Copies of this chain bind each other. A is one copy, B any other.
C-alpha cells in the first residue's frame, strides 16, 4: 500500500504545504517510506470550516445512523489487514502481537459506543411534566437530554498508536456524542494515521455522513495553538506529556470563549504493599509487579512508578526478590527517540540524587541496540521522598521507586504528599484490615481508579471504567477517557420547556419511541 503523505481534508486529501517529514522506525533506527506533508494554514482553515458545516447535519442524525458509522469504521479498520499491523509495528517499535491486540481493542471501542448509541439511555433523558394547577405558580413541562458540544480536536498518543490515536477512544466518544472530529496526527506514526484515516473516511462515505465529520492533519507546533484557539473547536482531547497538555489547557483557557480540555498527562500510580500481604505473597507480588513495571517497556500511563511499604523483615525480603525479578527482565525498544532520551534523563536525575539508591537494573547487554529502555528499580526512605517534589515526578518507562516508610503513619503521610493519580493500588490480607481503611480513604481521594490486590496496567473498556484522576493525572478529573462514560465529555444538557410533543427530540417524546430508561417526575421508568 503506497502512502500519499497528504492531509485528510474532509472527503478529499490535500498536500499543499512545503514542509514534510518521514516516519522513523525505532527498532531498526531507520526512516520508513512516505513523505508526510504538514498542512498549510489554508488547509487547516478548510478542515475547520468543513467541521463547522458538518456539525448541524451530523448532530441531527439519529443515534442509529451514528452507530452504523462507528460500526463501519471498525469494519474498515479490520479491512486494512496486515498492512496496518506491519506499518504500525514498524512506526512504534511495538511487537505485531501487541498491535494486533490493540487493533481489536480499537475496533471493540467503536462497537461498544455503537451499542451505547443503539441502547440510547446514555442521553440521560429527564422529564418533569406540567402541573397547571400548582400554587402559587403553575409548573411548566421541562424535558432534558444531552446534546453534542461541537467540533472536537483530538491529539493522539504515541504509546497507543491505534487505541488512543486517530480512531482511538477520544475519536470514538466524540463521534458517538454527535461531534465532528479533527485529528492532529501524531508525528510518531503518520503512516498508521494515514491508513486509519482512510478507513474512517471510507466508513463515513459508505454510511452517508456529511463531509467534514472527520479530518486529519499534520501540524507544526505553532499551528497546533491556532487549531486549539480556533472558534470552530469546542473541546480538546489529548493524551501525552504534562508539559504539552498544560500548553493546550492554557491556550484553551485564554480563548475569548474558553473550552474544555481533556488532557491525560501524568501519573506515577502508587502501589501500597501492606505488611501481611508481603509476608504471605512476596514472591507472587514481586513477579507480577515486575511484569507490570516492564510491560510495553513501561510506556503506559498506568505504569506503577511508585511502591510504598513499611520496613519489616517481609518487606526486606520482598525488595530483594523484586530486585532479582527486575534484574532478570529484558530491555525493550521504546516508542521514539524523544521518549527514550527523556527516560534516560529521568533515570540519570534520580541516580544523581544522594537520597536514591539503585536496587536493581536489568542486564545492560541488550541495551547496545539503540532506543531500548533498561528497566530499573530505585529505593528511597519515605522522609527523603517527601523532602523533594521531584522525587514524585513521572519517569515514563520501566522504572519504579520503592519508598520505605518507618511506620503506618509515615506511609499515610507519603500518600498524602502525592499529587492526583490515574490509579492507586493496595495489596492486603484480612490481617491488614485494621490499618487499611485510612489507606483506602486516602487513595480514593487521590486517584480515579483504586485497585485491590492487582496491578494498574490493563484498562478495561467498559461502562464502569474511570480513566482520569485529579490534577495532574488529567486536567479534568470529573471525566474519563476510557469506557462508555467518555461520551459525557463531549455533550451538554439542553432543557426543552413547554414544547409540543412532535417538536421534541425523539428521546423526550411522550411515547418514548426509543424505549429508553427516563427519569419521569422523579421516577426512573422505561
Q: Which A residues fall within an 8 A CB radius of B?
A: 56, 59-60, 101, 119, 121, 126-128, 136-137, 139-140, 142-144, 147, 149-150, 249-250, 253, 257-260, 419-420, 436, 440-441, 444-445, 447-454, 458, 460, 462-466, 468, 470-472, 475-480, 485, 491-500, 503, 517, 519, 522, 524
Residues of B within 8 A of A144 (CB): 463-466, 485
Closest 10 CB pairs of A and B: A466-B495, A126-B464, A253-B253, A144-B464, A128-B462, A451-B497, A449-B495, A257-B471, A466-B493, A452-B499
User: In the complex, are the beta carbons of B452 and A522 less than 8 A apart?
Assistant: no
Min Cβ gap A265→B in Å is: 12
A495–B137 touching, CB < 8 Å: no
Residues on the B chain within 8 Å of A449, using CB: 494-497
* Cα of A82 to Cα of B419 in the assembled complex, Å: 48
**C-alpha gap A447/B497 in the complex (Å):** 12
A137 touches B496 (CB 8 A): no
- Which residues of B have CB within 8 Å of A472? 257
Closest residue of chain B to A255 (Cβ to Cβ) is: B471
Given A444-B494, A492-B470, A524-B517, A136–B101 Cβ distance below 8 Å? yes
A437 and B144 alpha carbons, distance in the complex (Å): 18
In the complex, how many angstroms separate the beta carbon of A465 from the nearest chain B beta carbon? Answer: 6
Report chain B residues within 8 Å CB of A503: 436, 440, 452
Q: Closest B-chain residue to A451, C-beta based? A: B497
Q: A147-B444, A260-B478, A465-B142 are known contacts. Are A451 and B498 too (CB-CB below 8 A)? A: yes
Closest-by-CB residue of B relative to A478 is B492
Supply 10 further A-B pairs (C-beta < 8 A) apart from A121-B524, A448-B495, A449-B497: A128-B460, A143-B464, A257-B472, A258-B471, A448-B494, A450-B494, A453-B498, A454-B498, A466-B493, A477-B492
Select the residue from A60, A253, A468 with max chain B CB neighbours within 10 A.
A253
Q: Quick check: A495 and B465 within 8 Å, CB to CB? A: yes
> Closest chain B residue to A471 by CB distance?
B257
Docked Cα-Cα span, A464 to B126, in Å, equals 5
B524 touches A56 (CB 8 A): no
- Tell whether, in the assembled complex, residue B494 and residue A460 are in contact, meaning their CB atoms are under 8 Å apart: no
Could you pull out 29 A-B pairs where Cβ atoms are within 8 angstroms? A126-B485, A128-B464, A140-B454, A140-B458, A142-B460, A142-B462, A142-B464, A142-B465, A147-B444, A147-B445, A249-B258, A257-B470, A257-B472, A258-B471, A259-B471, A447-B494, A448-B492, A448-B494, A449-B494, A449-B495, A450-B496, A452-B497, A452-B500, A452-B503, A464-B495, A464-B519, A465-B495, A466-B493, A478-B493
Q: Is the CB of A485 within 8 A of B496?
A: no
> What residues of B have a CB within 8 angstroms of the CB of A496 in the complex?
449-450, 452
Known: A142-B465, A445-B56, A460-B142. A480 touches B451 (CB 8 A): no
CA distance A253 to B476 in the complex (A): 12
A448-B494, A452-B496, A452-B497 known; A126+B463 contact, CB < 8 A: yes
Cβ-closest chain B residue relative to A523: B119
